[in-house]
Chain A
């Protein structure tokens, strides 16, 4: 299977919103679409999925145009929502039905995902309803030994934002899709729920799914993705395999922590200081030679060194640098 996005183009009036975007995935994995707000990520995704008419370009899945009929697609949109007044279970079965999943099969998948994402109590309220014994005293649990009061189905509006987001995430996976598009999947989630969703994403990657992910959380993208495109103001400013990109930058970021002030020696070595706090420094060096020279100088000067870490730039640092080049006064 392969996904080829070729020369996507879109404009509204005279304003170009996506300009000549191309990338491909020839094996399962995660492709990251990164960019500033308004860079054109969501518009690109909408065009890829056929929700928005393209002004140019094509999207191929296994050599044929990508459509919801030719490919089983799971999509978590950036703008997420649920019908606020409708029962959650009805909505999930409906969304699964629209993707061609029979009702009974949908119920099985919903149950499995609900357990995984810890939202069973909202989808199966009767299983968690407090029961009453003969004396009318409430009991928790599954109502064993008591009269179970039938709970009303939960509505979307009764859930917290985080739990709604987990339900929305379920909708993207209900059809067991081949291609999963996740637009900002972790935004607004607390650390516990973030980990839950990350685990599920890991599982999908392990199953050999094709994932396209758009996110501002660089650490998450870095953890999952193999290839990236950084979009800025409608066009791609950096594209390729993440490891290759990092290698091309070289080991130029130095994290240094000393027990005494090392600033005079850093300045003398000509390293650029990115940040500094209580004798702990983030430095940008020209390469291993400059970093080694600084290390030797500090040892010769008798400055005790606690941490010395010369590494490739992180995705965050690459992103900031690339977008910063485009907008030197904005970043």
Chain B
């Protein structure tokens, strides 16, 4: 692939992005999304419950019947993000109004029982369980580093399972709430992975659809504006397409950032004066996922490369249209692939977190890997090498599609007539069919 084929991409990208950001409709959409994000916390709080005052307890009361030392628990809870908390041994006079736990030896081993207000005690219970696990590992002869690593992995599973194990959000009655157990054993990880996969896939669908829609719309609008001849004399067709794809990608990521940024801002601001226990119990699993820089890198790179594939595909499909009315049909291929990737990723995650060959396949096959690889990597089913192999496969597809675009885009973009299916576009590219 010659580099000159894409010379001018930067100019097309800057102009397209600038115009996208100048459009009143697009600005309105970004503002609406930002407002939606800002409203998310109070709305969730209303739905899930909560009141005035902070959700994080200032003190955690622990009735320790486990026999284990709790010397390091206070520091552990502080490190884990429970703020300036103090640990008090024994239960208070009115445990139902406080964060209170009871550590006991049950039939199945150690258990952490919530003895106080469910919403206030929940995170303390989860973290205390993790602390106890670490202590048991240290007692079993593991080094502190090994214990930390194992506990961190376990914590991921716990946080991910948060949505399924969230305590009842209702205000505790005068009699207090039913005690809940946060079992030290890890049974919640599976459904947690499914929840994470589902949430991630839904977000990815949103971004993909926005990106695909923008690329197709801008290609078809340019074509119907009769600008193509003028542009093609100044810029290579590959650059014209790639510039648009990148601009649309950035805009859709900005769209997503507004939504997420609004939600985080909302959580931060409202967290200062509202009870966030209901919201946290609902979102805590996702918000407190152990997103290490490497996991974030996998998440971002995989998503961006995948979005590039959809962008180029949608640009080619859009170029086969001769009118704005046909652009809906041009979305069908991308829609099919997006939905396919989504369905496969959540269905394979529904029974158990895939491992071995299936996990590797899901992480390497283009489109599927976009949806599945980040979650599988997060849960340790695949390593970074497999994920990188998936990136290479995706990048190979991107290069292949760009080559295809460079070959047929100029013909397609001056084509007039009935909308060309992607199959016909491929036949045109390999020279098996000629068309005007």
Segment of B118-126, B164-172, B179-187, B232-240 in the binding face: B232-240
Q: Which chain A residues (38-67) contact chain B, with CB distance < 8 Å?
A: 46, 49, 51-53
Contact status B233-A81, CB under 8 Å: no
A99, B233: Cα distance in complex, Å: 9
Partner of B225, one of A52, A75, A82: A82
A13, B11: Cα distance in complex, Å: 36
Contact status B8-A90, CB under 8 Å: no
Contact status B230-A51, CB under 8 Å: no
Known: A51-B414, A83-B222. A77 touches B229 (CB 8 A): yes
Give chain A residues whose Cβ lies under 8 Å from the Cβ of B12. 98
Q: Which chain A residues (287-314) contact chain B, with CB distance < 8 Å?
A: none
Q: Is B88 at the interface (CB under 8 A from chain A)?
A: no
Segment of B15-23, B89-97, B313-321 in the binding face: B15-23
Partner of A12, one of B229, B234, B436: B436
Contact status B410-A52, CB under 8 Å: yes
Q: Is A270 at the interface (CB under 8 A from chain B)?
A: no
Can you name 21 A-B pairs with beta carbons within 8 Å? A12-B434, A13-B434, A13-B435, A17-B436, A46-B414, A49-B232, A52-B410, A53-B411, A68-B234, A77-B226, A78-B229, A79-B226, A80-B226, A81-B230, A82-B227, A83-B221, A83-B222, A86-B22, A90-B19, A97-B15, A98-B234
Q: How many residues of A contact B (CB 8 A)?
A: 32
Residue among A53, A69, A83, A98 having the largest count of chain B Cβ atoms under 10 Å = A98
A307, B414: Cα distance in complex, Å: 51
Binding site for A on B (CB under 8 A): 4, 8, 11-12, 15, 18-19, 22-23, 221-222, 225-235, 410-411, 414, 434-436
Nearest Cβ in chain A — how far from B430, in angstroms? 14
Q: Is A95 at the interface (CB under 8 A from chain B)?
A: yes
A268, B410: Cα distance in complex, Å: 61
Known: A94-B15, A98-B235. A171 touches B230 (CB 8 A): yes
A49, B411: Cα distance in complex, Å: 13
Nearest Cβ in chain B — how far from A21, in angstroms? 17
Contact status A94-B11, CB under 8 Å: yes
Give chain A residues whose Cβ lies under 8 Å from the Cβ of B222. 83
With both beta carbons as reference points, the residue of chain A lying nearest to B223 in the complex is identified as A81
Tell me the interface secondary structure of chain B in the complex: helix
Contact status B234-A90, CB under 8 Å: no
Beyond A69-B4, A78-B229: 7 further Cβ-contacts under 8 Å?
A17-B436, A53-B411, A68-B234, A75-B229, A79-B226, A81-B230, A98-B12
Give chain A residues whose Cβ lies under 8 Å from the Cβ of B414. 46, 51-52
Nearest Cβ in chain B — how far from A171, in angstroms? 6
With both beta carbons as reference points, the residue of chain A lying nearest to B416 in the complex is identified as A79
Q: Is A329 at the interface (CB under 8 A from chain B)?
A: no
Partner of B234, one of A82, A84, A95: A95
A90, B225: Cα distance in complex, Å: 16
Q: Is A285 at the interface (CB under 8 A from chain B)?
A: no
Q: Is A277 at the interface (CB under 8 A from chain B)?
A: no
A90, B18: Cα distance in complex, Å: 10
Contact status A98-B411, CB under 8 Å: no
Give chain B residues whose Cβ lies under 8 Å from the Cβ of A51. 229, 232-233, 410, 414
Contact status A86-B234, CB under 8 Å: no
Give chain A residues whose Cβ lies under 8 Å from the Cβ of B22. 86-87, 90
Contact status B233-A97, CB under 8 Å: no
Contact status B230-A52, CB under 8 Å: no
Give chain A residues whose Cβ lies under 8 Å from the Cβ of B235. 98
Q: Is A32 at the interface (CB under 8 A from chain B)?
A: no
